Structure 1
Amino acid sequence: MVARPKQRAASVAVIDIGSNSVRLVVYETLTRSLVTIFNEKALCGLGSEVQSTGLLAPGAVTKALAALKRFRALCRIMRVGRVHAIATAAARDARNGADFIAAAEKICGCSIEILSGPREAKLSALGVISGVHRPDGLVGDLGGGSLELIDVKGSRVRQGVTLPLGSLALQDASQKSPKKAERIVKTALVGVPQLGAATGRTFYAVGGTWRALARLHIIQSGYPRRVMHGYSLPAAEALDFVRRLRRLATANILANIESIAEARQPLLVYAALVLENIILTGKPTTIVFSTYGVREGLMYEMLPLARRAEDGLVAAAQTLNHLLSRSAKHGEELIGWSDRFVRVAKLPETPEDKRLRHVACLLSDIGWRVHPDYRGEQTLHLITNGNFGSVDHHGRAFLALSVYYRYAGFSAENEPPELVRALVTPAQVERARVLGALFRVAHLISAARPGVLPATHFSVQDRKMSLVFEHRLVDLVADRVGSRFRQLAKLVGKSGTIVRR
């Protein structure tokens, strides 16, 4: 008997050889909403001497090649299906970059794409498009060796530019003098046309050192969530923060910050300096930090056009629905059921409100395996801290509250944490309560099984709302169902009653 060829694993990996870090990220599969199953970086500092010597530092090369050997071994034991490798500014700018890449390719067992500056900018933009819902502004990707700037609007990407303003490059070119670095930055940004695209719009900050700045701000401000992606600040507040951080760096107060990798700490002042001058020159209104960048852009670029057009948040919710809910089909039916309720109740709703409601339907049963006393709390944390994109922190909080109320109910002792409620408006809290009440009715009458919700419908006459059951389902009616439906109707200013047909 002829043996069947071994099927290649669905997982896909990216080896990213950057100017500061060398990283391996393994994704479960190539899809619209990427799921990371492994992520490791080594801070090698390949670009630490390129500006002054024109060469990759020997010690950094040794560290990077050792990291790549480990990464290949990891890919082998994880049986990764496909490995894609890319290299950025340090490898493309250094005179010995080609020799390093040749050695790296032997270790990795695959070709390494050395990204040009414009190509790196484009992939950064595609990464933001994949992880931010309808982005509109200027993407800035700050690496160790370079800064890429590129305008995005929706799925449209304009021509990008690359500048030698990476944090390691600045440290090297300025001989570790922040004053010299400031002059370099100001000179490099003069007349850059892409900066004009930031005026009055959002600036999307991509890159590990800028994420470190966001982490510091989250900790110092007492912000209730530690999720970096989608964390946003008014530009004026961000400007005050980076200026304060530069003063602290001058006074040597930033050393030994436990939340920031030791090798990255000296680079914070240069990242702050670049962001300060972008804000002053480009005049954006808002700074949004994105953990989606070149690697995610590379994966997004590989998708068929139809898959790229999918909503990343909806795709993530569909995955969670299939993995964690009792019936994925029931979650889909709940979307149509909630559509009918909103229409009959005449609830005002923006397109974004509708989008989040549909996502909440898909997430409404993901906590059923948790102990009943902790379902609300656990799902609230899962959603607010979930590793997915295409939603801002306000949207996360709204989704989390909707599902929390579905499990915890509305008693005073079960109110969700104020730190989460503070992320949304009072009107959004009330909307989340309505959705939670709707889910409590839906899951009670259907036991989360498909085929039940389509056999019920809503009607309204004056201030009276009815939930109508088809004759074949009348045995599902009980006092508890009536009580929950009356609670739902009251939240939308109606009295509620159950009708059997």
Structure 2
Amino acid sequence: MVENTAQRGTARQSRRAAIVDLGSNSVRMVVYEGVARNPVPIFNEKATLRLGAGLEATGLLSEEGIERALEVLARYQVIGQAMGVQPFDVLATAAVRDARNGAEFVRAAQMRMPGARFRVLNGEEEADYSATGVLCALPAADGIVADIGGGSLELIRVRDGAYFDAGTTPLGVIRLRERSEDDLEKAAAIARKTLADVAWLEDAKGKPLYLVGGAFRALARLHMARTDYPLNMVHLFCLNRQEAVEMAEWITGASRKQMEKIGNVPRKRMVDAPFAAQVLLALLDKTDAPEVIFSAEGLREGWYMREVAACVADEEPMEALAGEMAGRLGRNASFAGPLHAWLAPVFLFGLGWKDDAFLSLQFRLACMVSDIGSYDHPQYRAEQTYRRLLYCHGVGFSHESRAFLALVLAGRYDMDRESPVLEPSRRLLSKEYYEAAIRLGQAFRLVYMLCAGTEVLLEETHLALKDEDQLVLNLHGSRLRSGGNAVSRQLSRLAESLGVEADLR
């Protein structure tokens, strides 16, 4: 049964909340709109400060970084006031908490931002927020969250929607560069020795790594560009162990010129990338992780879910996003349930999708978003809807899910399956899942021809697979008038794709 989530949150008070994430390497302000299971950022600005540069040697925040930080924070204060944000929080991390002049800097920063609340997080609190951010996107995550910054690497165990064993290590990329004196071999030895002292990692061996933080995201972006990956989207980008090792080893061996030629990463990040790669190699060696999953959701999203959106934290993120899209872009969000029930005898039971966790979930989500192109221009509807699903903002959709759902809707709007627009789906989906999405799109096209997206015209009609060689559509009584040549032709197309005969009764 598909639950209608389209109207969820419509009665929730509209609000804007802002966080300033003040790290060792950069500062970022994000303003979120409303209260939603998938955080909606409406302002997102980052400035590179390198506040923690030189901290290892001097024990002090960089004077140049402080000066720049106070300028940027004053700007953020003005933006926060203009946008009416509440709450307005500044969370400072490793560099500020470890520096001897950290408290003095915070006092000066508070004078620039009198409307904001300041907190200097300890390592465990920082790890807690990062874990909450990962669980925001992946409630079923079971493994180790590793959040790398400029001054520290936070590690935390996640399982069954909870997190524990949180801790911090001095393996931030700026600090590691300074401790190793820019020597990658020395950096690798420091990383391995540091992780050897984190005893609880032994208990999580063989579990995935969930990688958070700008330096880790830079590794993913370099790899995506180098391999011509079809989505330039780091969030939920996955690599198996062998791929992750190859990626990290290439980055540690590449010259700055080679990385710049590949691009897709700010130049300021390229100097840190080899040190982040050494930390990743040490983590892989220590944990025997079978895969790595990159998460763009970390400390800031963790803060949002705990401080702003705790009331929706129990919602399933993919279903929440699908429901929100249906309510905003479709004609009849309540149609998802009847559509699911009408097609289930063919897809879930006749074709056995109920026994495939991925297909079963995508079937449910596809029913929810089946009509989100209804208000687009008919000449561009198929392509527009395909791209909307493939590139939509939302924390829950995996890359495979995006490719599948987008392809279903392209078929629902009759896009040529050989179109070059569909290349991302061809590359991201197995042949089996690609064909499954095409068939479901054809089924949606049949349904909408038959009933125009209304429940009443589905009543007293039935679609089923009979004896594994017939696709039978029964139209009863007055519903016969909703049949016709177009319905008959689409039934035949769907039957052909399923390898069976069509029978319209």
Question: Partner of 2:267 in structure 1?
Answer: 262
Question: Partner of 1:319 in structure 2?
Answer: 324
Instruction: Answer yes or no: is the 8 Å Cα contact 1:11–1:27 preserved in 2.
Output: yes
Match of 1:158 among 155, 164, 167: 164
Match of 2:285 among 263, 267, 280: 280
Instruction: Answer yes or no: is the 8 Å Cα contact 1:138–1:197 preserved in 2.
Output: no
Seen in structure 2, the aligned counterparts of structure 1 residues 226 and 197 have a Cα distance that, compared at 3 Å, is farther
Give CA deviations for 1:275-313 in whole Å, capped at 9, x if unaligned.
111112222111111101111112222467773222111
Instruction: Answer yes or no: is the 8 Å Cα contact 1:9–1:79 preserved in 2.
Output: no
The DSSP-based 3-state class of the residue aligned with 2:19 is: strand
Instruction: Answer yes or no: is the 8 Å Cα contact 2:139–2:161 preserved in 1.
Output: no
Letter in 2 for 1:196: E
CA distance in 2, matches of 1:306, 1:458: 40
Match of 2:402 among 380, 396, 417: 396
Question: Partner of 2:450 in structure 1?
Answer: 445
CA distance in 1, matches of 2:68, 2:369: 43
Instruction: Answer yes or no: is the 8 Å Cα contact 1:321–1:366 preserved in 2.
Output: yes
Question: Partner of 2:191 in structure 1?
Answer: 185
Query: How far did 1:257 drift?
Result: 6.3
Question: Partner of 1:4 in structure 2?
Answer: none
Question: Partner of 1:373 in structure 2?
Answer: 379
The DSSP-based 3-state class of the residue aligned with 2:45 is: strand
Question: Partner of 2:392 in structure 1?
Answer: 386
CA distance in 1, matches of 2:251, 2:482: 62
Letter in 1 for 2:56: Q
CA distance in 2, matches of 1:400, 1:314: 15
Match of 1:423 among 404, 417, 428: 428
CA distance in 1, matches of 2:99, 2:417: 63
Query: How far did 1:231 drift?
Result: 1.0
Greater mean alpha carbon deviation, residues 203-212 or residues 9-18:
9-18
Seen in structure 2, the aligned counterparts of structure 1 residues 68 and 451 have a Cα distance that, compared at 3 Å, is farther
Instruction: Answer yes or no: is the 8 Å Cα contact 2:25–2:149 preserved in 1.
Output: yes
Instruction: Answer yes or no: is the 8 Å Cα contact 1:9–1:81 preserved in 2.
Output: no
Question: Partner of 2:352 in structure 1?
Answer: 347
Seen in structure 2, the aligned counterparts of structure 1 residues 310 and 17 have a Cα distance that, compared at 3 Å, is same
Structure 1 vs Structure 2: percent identity of aligned residues?
33
Match of 2:301 among 263, 286, 296: 296
Query: How far did 1:218 drift?
Result: 0.4
Query: How far did 1:20 drift?
Result: 0.9
Question: Partner of 1:127 in structure 2?
Answer: 133
Find out whether 1:476 has 2:482 as its counterpart. Answer: yes
CA distance in 1, matches of 2:47, 2:428: 35
Instruction: Answer yes or no: is the 8 Å Cα contact 2:389–2:402 preserved in 1.
Output: yes
Letter in 2 for 1:285: P
Greater mean alpha carbon deviation, residues 76-85 or residues 359-368:
76-85
Instruction: Answer yes or no: is the 8 Å Cα contact 1:30–1:299 preserved in 2.
Output: no
Seen in structure 2, the aligned counterparts of structure 1 residues 332 and 40 have a Cα distance that, compared at 3 Å, is farther
Seen in structure 2, the aligned counterparts of structure 1 residues 471 and 74 have a Cα distance that, compared at 3 Å, is farther
Query: How far did 1:252 drift?
Result: 5.9
Query: How far did 1:128 drift?
Result: 0.9
Find out whether 1:40 has 2:31 as its counterpart. Answer: no
The DSSP-based 3-state class of the residue aligned with 1:373 is: coil
Give CA deviations for 1:357-400 in whole Å, capped at 9, x if unaligned.
11112222222333333322222222222222223222221111
Letter in 2 for 1:468: N
CA distance in 2, matches of 1:320, 1:466: 32
Question: Partner of 1:307 in structure 2?
Answer: 312
Greater mean alpha carbon deviation, residues 289-298 or residues 254-263:
254-263
Query: How far did 1:355 drift?
Result: 1.5
CA distance in 1, matches of 2:118, 2:232: 34
Query: How far did 1:30 drift?
Result: 2.4
Seen in structure 2, the aligned counterparts of structure 1 residues 470 and 103 have a Cα distance that, compared at 3 Å, is farther
CA distance in 1, matches of 2:45, 2:310: 30
In structure 1, stretches of 5+ residues that fail to align are 1-6
Instruction: Answer yes or no: is the 8 Å Cα contact 1:230–1:393 preserved in 2.
Output: yes
Question: Partner of 2:240 in structure 1?
Answer: 234
Question: Partner of 2:5 in structure 1?
Answer: none
Instruction: Answer yes or no: is the 8 Å Cα contact 2:38–2:396 preserved in 1.
Output: no
**Number of residues paired by the alignment?**
491
Question: Partner of 2:9 in structure 1?
Answer: none
Match of 2:501 among 477, 495, 498: 495
Letter in 2 for 1:32: R
CA distance in 2, matches of 1:79, 1:464: 61
Find out whether 1:111 has 2:117 as its counterpart. Answer: yes
The DSSP-based 3-state class of the residue aligned with 1:158 is: strand
Taking the TM superposition and a 5 Å limit, the aligned residue runs for 1:1-40 are: 9-40=14-45
Seen in structure 2, the aligned counterparts of structure 1 residues 118 and 478 have a Cα distance that, compared at 3 Å, is same
Query: How far did 1:422 drift?
Result: 2.2
Query: How far did 1:216 drift?
Result: 0.5
Query: How far did 1:57 drift?
Result: 1.0
CA distance in 2, matches of 1:336, 1:493: 23
TM-score, structure 1 normalization = 0.91
Over the aligned positions, Cα root-mean-square deviation in angstroms equals: 2.4
TM-score, structure 2 normalization = 0.90
The DSSP-based 3-state class of the residue aligned with 2:96 is: helix
Query: How far did 1:67 drift?
Result: 1.3
CA distance in 2, matches of 1:480, 1:8: 45
Match of 1:64 among 60, 65, 69: 69
Question: Partner of 1:357 in structure 2?
Answer: 363
Seen in structure 2, the aligned counterparts of structure 1 residues 82 and 413 have a Cα distance that, compared at 3 Å, is same
CA distance in 1, matches of 2:73, 2:458: 53
Query: How far did 1:107 drift?
Result: 2.6
Question: Partner of 2:8 in structure 1?
Answer: none
Find out whether 1:50 has 2:55 as its counterpart. Answer: yes
CA distance in 2, matches of 1:343, 1:187: 51
Instruction: Answer yes or no: is the 8 Å Cα contact 2:37–2:309 preserved in 1.
Output: no
Instruction: Answer yes or no: is the 8 Å Cα contact 1:68–1:104 preserved in 2.
Output: yes
Instruction: Answer yes or no: is the 8 Å Cα contact 2:411–2:417 preserved in 1.
Output: no
Find out whether 1:209 has 2:215 as its counterpart. Answer: yes
Query: How far did 1:450 drift?
Result: 4.7
